[in-house]
Amino acid sequence: MSIFNLFLQAVRDTWSRKRMIVLVWGVTLLFSVPAFWAVQRPLRSHFGMTSVPDEWLTQFNANYLLEMLVEQPLFFQTVTSVLTAMGLLYLLVSILLSGGVVGGLQTKSPDKFFARFIGDGGKFFGRFLRLFLWTLLLSAASLIFLLIPVAGILFVTVALGITRCASDIAKFRLAADAGFKVTKTYFSSLGWVVKNFFRVASVYLMSLLMLLAAFAIYRLADPTPHSVVTILWMFLLQQAFVLFRTSIKIQMLASARLLWQTAPKETVSPNLTHMPLEPGVQT
Amino acid sequence: MKKFLFIWICAAVSGYAQLKIFDKPLSPRIANYNIKAKLLPAARAVEASWELNWWNASADTIRELQFHLYLNAFKNEKSTFFREGGGEGRSNAAHLTKEDWGYIDIKALRTEDDEDLTKRIEFIYPDDGNADDQSAIRVVLSKPILPQKSIQLHCEFYSKLPRVYARTGFTEDNFFMVGQWFPKIAVWRNGAWNCHQFHAWTEFFADFGVYDMELTVPKEYVVGANAVLVDKREGDSASVYTYHQEDVIDAVWAASPDFKEIKQKITVEGTGKDVEVTYLLSPTREGMIDRYEEFMAKLLQYYNEWYGEYPYRNLTIVDPPSGEEFTSGGMEYPTLITTGSFIGPLMVDRILGTRWLEVVVAHEFAHNYFQSLVATNEFEDPWMDEGFTSFTEHRAVDRFFAEKNLTGSYANLLGAPVNSMDYFRGGYYPHPRDGLMSDAAWKIPPGFYQTAAYSKPTLFLTTLENYLGEQTFNKIMRTYFERWHFKHPKPKDFTAIVNEMAGQDLNWFFDQVIYTNKTTDYEVSKIENAEAPEDGGWFDEGGEKKFAENQKSDEKKYHGTVRVRNNGDGYFPTPILIRFANGDSLIERWDGKGAWREFTYDKNSKIISAVVDPHHVNTLDFNWGNNSKTVDRSELGITRYTLRFMFWVETLFQYLTMFV
């Protein structure tokens, strides 16, 4: 399968699972709501009866906010506490979700979507958590190369990309083999990604280009909101962009699955190949 | 003696006669140096000598000389600089090794008559009595200097540079920032030497003069100095750079084998004169050159328009190596500034939309006007250089980014613009009363220097500009520059010009802001709309009592009240904008005196809002959030930004889980 066809297949695989995209996006939105309230409520009580909100409709003046921080130091602490708590929770829930996504990408059956999704999430949670910790550790370690100017930045970017791709590949290998050897699987996936670097990088880059294009459209369409209608439009656009980013993340996982499946290799788990990718495609 | 005379004649011939930049001296040329220096990279030091021609421009007979030995601030932990700052002042706390300390040793000091003054050197500590501080010295002369006479001295010295610290020193990769590195004569003023020690938060003060420098460095080094390059000779292993500069207060240079040198010729709009800007960029900074060039061309135009002509032919901009942005970047010398575009290469400024490069360049170049040309005493009146400079920086970045139609002159953080005014107000209102703006730098309480020297003066000048109008204000600043460049003004000299040009006595304002820590905080504390009483009841009319029925009408009348109060102890004339439900609005004027003031109206319309100082003329009002009050809630503006905040939280969460 050519790189481009593989990419297209990943796009199709992703968008044929719309419920999954909406679910993951919905969770992201849900987790950001407490942060919204943590900011909205004190601002309303502090500025609601002043002309500051009207001024902000035409021009943002950070002064007011900074003054409020001096007057109400607890505001900042509350917001950061909520952000930290929700961020950590979201991290754990995301690990659960990624299990659901990996399981969901391996089947086309629409039956009992939600139950299967949660079931897969629970099934893989422990393994994917360890996988995440390995990825995080290696990614953090690679940051040391930032000390080298220019070349260091390039190296770190590539290293982060490789650890991320290896993590995606390892997820499918663990899921397909029903294996528990996380460390071994992750490091062998790392080796595999390095060996197939250009193929892997090309597919991931195509996804990133899609994201970049969506970002450009978002920036162009993002209005300067002065009224209820334009604020609503801004909100819808923002959420559409978050939803699209969610789809790209799933698409990268779908790409990883296809990359691993279609690569010429010695052994492929029989469990992983039970479902044809598309009619006529041999794995 | 003969040898010294020979050196002196050579210096005179090679130095002073070599190049003449200005037809007529622009300054009194009191302290004139001819310096020969050799960089010793391995020793992290400079071996040097100078010939000083110092002119007693006063009517006093002077019996001793005083000098600054700034590098001794970095000699040990007993220096006043270290005691006050704990090694934290200006840069990273140094866990210093043997090599990291800096000092200056005077090997020899002689008069033109070959009289050895070396043994007469005494350390002085006029500010704090710290007998361990060696940053200032005095030398008693056997022959006094008569009024209007000069003295010639010869000095040999060894300057061990510290690991780059407080904008002077070396780095591991052979970057040398050689500033405040030679024995520098103090300023004779009002019948005495003005020679302060080097404190944690003080800077410098010097007289104008002509500088000739001959710098010998290893051949692979690229050098930049605050002077015009006259000659460069290359030997087998070393290069000799000869520089000349006139009418400046300091000599400074930087050297590194890694500098990329880029030159730009700018023809200043308004004067038609050329200024050659030399950029010495560290590796990874070359990508910044377009931003530098565009902005510098604008700055020369702005400052010429606002204050007056930049008189020099040259300007050198040093962008230090990565990691040294705070230790050596952001420093000012006449015709040489150091910057620090540190977030450029990582593209953080692009992602976050910060304008660090422009902010630092605007600030440091403004110092060429305030302190290098209008040579105020940075020890005693820090606000007069840092304050005027910060104010200029604020004006420059505001104008530059407005001309480019970009919001946020300091940053555009993820869609939320941050302007320079936000920055300076943020540096003022958390602690507006902690000290006085008029305090000498070493007397300002710890933690208040930024407020006293930078933020509050910026707000003071901005308020003055808002109050008097741009035209009058520009006239004030141009007059101040014109009368005081190449001189040493004090605060009263500036305020006298303001009063003269504004045609009014503004001392009430100066006294509050400069010499006391009075504050203003105007607040709309109450809006009330009561139904107006009808006109019923008994009334005396022509000696008779008459009863009138209540005149009920469909149109309601309201008795509206707006109360404004001042939570501070200072005052500032303040307008109040009052809006009514029927669309009417009016402006009330209050002289700002007293604790509160009430305005009442009987109208057939309710008051819907009141705003004190609606155009934010008084930037020293330390809480703008309470300047307005509305009758009805209006929260759309809050929703707009909190929704955007939520979007960024979602983005943050998605990036946080990038590796999941």
Residue B622: the pLDDT is 86
Residue A171: the pLDDT is 95
Residue B222 reports pLDDT greater than 80? yes
- Which chain B residues are closer than 8 Å to A247 by Cβ? none
Instruction: Return the higher-pLDDT residue of B544 and B521.
Output: B521
Using the beta-carbon criterion (under 8 Å), do B628 and A52 form an inter-chain contact? yes
DSSP type of residue B15: I
- Which chain A residues are closer than 8 Å to B626 by Cβ? 50
Using the beta-carbon criterion (under 8 Å), do A31 and B637 form an inter-chain contact? no
Residues 6+ apart with CB under 8 A from A41: none
Using the beta-carbon criterion (under 8 Å), do A132 and B660 form an inter-chain contact? yes
Confidence of residue A282 (pLDDT cuts 50, 70, 90): very low
* Minimal CA separation from B223 to chain A, in Å: 22
Mean pLDDT of the region B576-604: 96
Residue A91, number of CB atoms within 10 A of its CB: 17
* Minimal CA separation from B641 to chain A, in Å: 8
Using the beta-carbon criterion (under 8 Å), do B430 and A62 form an inter-chain contact? no
Residue B35 reports pLDDT greater than 90? yes
Confidence of residue B342 (pLDDT cuts 50, 70, 90): low
For chain B, give the percent of residues with pLDDT over 70. Answer: 94
Using the beta-carbon criterion (under 8 Å), do A98 and B645 form an inter-chain contact? no
Residue B110, number of CB atoms within 10 A of its CB: 17
Residue B16 reports pLDDT greater than 50? no
Mean pLDDT of the region A44-69: 91
Residue B367: the pLDDT is 97
Q: Which residue in the set B625, B641, B660 is minimally distant from A94, CB to CB?
A: B660
Mean pLDDT of the region A54-64: 88
Closest residue, chain B, to A240 (C-alpha): B647
Closest residue, chain A, to B427 (C-alpha): A66
Q: Which of B205-214, B398-407, B415-424 has the lowest mean pLDDT?
A: B415-424
Closest residue, chain B, to A58 (C-alpha): B637
Residue A271: the pLDDT is 57
Instruction: Return the higher-pLDDT residue of A32 and B416.
Output: A32
Q: What is the tens place of the pLDDT at every residue in A174-188?
A: 998 877 899 999 999
3-state helix, strand, coil in chain B (%, to 5): 25, 30, 40
Residue B69 reports pLDDT greater than 70? yes
Using the beta-carbon criterion (under 8 Å), do A149 and B625 form an inter-chain contact? no
Q: Which of A65-74, B213-222, B384-393 has the lowest mean pLDDT?
A: A65-74
Contact B470, B481 (CB under 8 A): no
* Minimal CA separation from A17 to chain B, in Å: 19
Residue A281: the pLDDT is 40
Nearest to B526 by CA among B628, B646, B656, B381: B628
Residue B1 reports pLDDT greater than 50? no
* Minimal CA separation from B564 to chain A, in Å: 14
The three-state (H, E, C) secondary structure of B505-516, written as one string: CCHHHHHHHHHC
Residue B225: the pLDDT is 98
Residue A270 reports pLDDT greater than 70? no
Mean pLDDT of the region A51-79: 91
First to last CA, chain B: 80
Give me Rg for the CA atoms of chain A: 22
Using the beta-carbon criterion (under 8 Å), do B650 and A242 form an inter-chain contact? yes
Closest residue, chain A, to B631 (C-alpha): A49
* Minimal CA separation from A258 to chain B, in Å: 19
Q: Which of A162-166, A226-230, B327-331 has the lowest mean pLDDT?
A: B327-331
Residue A283: the pLDDT is 34
Contact B515, B436 (CB under 8 A): yes
Residue B348: the pLDDT is 64
Q: What is the tens place of the pLDDT at every residue in B166-191?
A: 889 999 889 999 999 999 999 999 99
Count of A–B CB contacts within 8 Å? 166
Six-digit token string for B416: 């939320």
DSSP type of residue A260: H
Closest residue, chain B, to A99 (C-alpha): B660
Contact B387, B460 (CB under 8 A): yes
Residue A275 reports pLDDT greater than 80? no
Mean pLDDT of the region B637-647: 94
Nearest to B151 by CA among B243, B66, B229, B41: B66
Confidence of residue A35 (pLDDT cuts 50, 70, 90): very high
For chain A, give the percent of residues with pLDDT over 90. Answer: 73
User: A32, A136, A219: which to substitute to probe chain B, counting the most B Cβ within 10 Å?
Assistant: A32
Mean pLDDT of chain A: 89
Indicate the pTM of the whole model: 0.86
Closest residue, chain A, to B615 (C-alpha): A55
Using the beta-carbon criterion (under 8 Å), do B629 and A50 form an inter-chain contact? yes
- Which chain B residues are closer than 8 Å to A59 by Cβ? 407, 417
Closest residue, chain B, to A83 (C-alpha): B649
Using the beta-carbon criterion (under 8 Å), do A36 and B646 form an inter-chain contact? yes
Mean pLDDT of the region A123-130: 95
Contact B387, B454 (CB under 8 A): yes
- Which chain A residues are closer than 8 Å to B636 by Cβ? 53-54, 57, 227-228, 231
Using the beta-carbon criterion (under 8 Å), do B624 and A67 form an inter-chain contact? yes
Using the beta-carbon criterion (under 8 Å), do A63 and B421 form an inter-chain contact? yes
Residue A68 to residue A93: CA distance in whole angstroms: 34
* Minimal CA separation from B297 to chain A, in Å: 29
Q: What is the tens place of the pLDDT at every residue in B513-537?
A: 999 999 999 999 999 999 877 777 8
Residue B548: the pLDDT is 81
Confidence of residue B6 (pLDDT cuts 50, 70, 90): very low
Q: How far is Cα of residue B398 from the mean position of the Cα atoms in its chain?
A: 16
Using the beta-carbon criterion (under 8 Å), do B643 and A249 form an inter-chain contact? no
Mean pLDDT of the region B455-481: 97
- Which chain B residues are closer than 8 Å to A47 by Cβ? 625, 638
Confidence of residue B90 (pLDDT cuts 50, 70, 90): low
- Which chain A residues are closer than 8 Å to B421 by Cβ? 63
Residue B165 reports pLDDT greater than 90? no
For chain B, give the percent of residues with pLDDT over 90. Answer: 77
Q: Which of A201-205, B92-96, B351-355, B622-626 has the lowest mean pLDDT?
A: B92-96
Residue B540: the pLDDT is 86
Mean pLDDT of chain B: 92
Q: Which residue in the set B630, B638, B658 is minimally distant from A51, CB to CB?
A: B630
* Minimal CA separation from A282 to chain B, in Å: 30
Confidence of residue B12 (pLDDT cuts 50, 70, 90): very low
* ipTM metric: 0.92
- Which chain B residues are closer than 8 Å to A90 by Cβ? 653, 656-657
For chain A, give the percent of residues with pLDDT over 70. Answer: 93
Closest residue, chain A, to B286 (C-alpha): A150
Closest residue, chain A, to B628 (C-alpha): A50
| Distances from the Cα of B61 to the Cα of A94, B28, B141, B184, B191, angstroms | 82, 18, 11, 20, 9
Q: Which residue in the set A33, A48, A136 is minimally distant from B635, CB to CB?
A: A48
Residue B532: the pLDDT is 76
Mean pLDDT of the region A155-165: 93
- Which chain A residues are closer than 8 Å to B411 by Cβ? none
- Which chain A residues are closer than 8 Å to B344 by Cβ? none
Residue A265: the pLDDT is 57
Residue B552: the pLDDT is 65
Candidate ranges A15-24, B13-22, B410-419; pick with highest mean pLDDT: A15-24
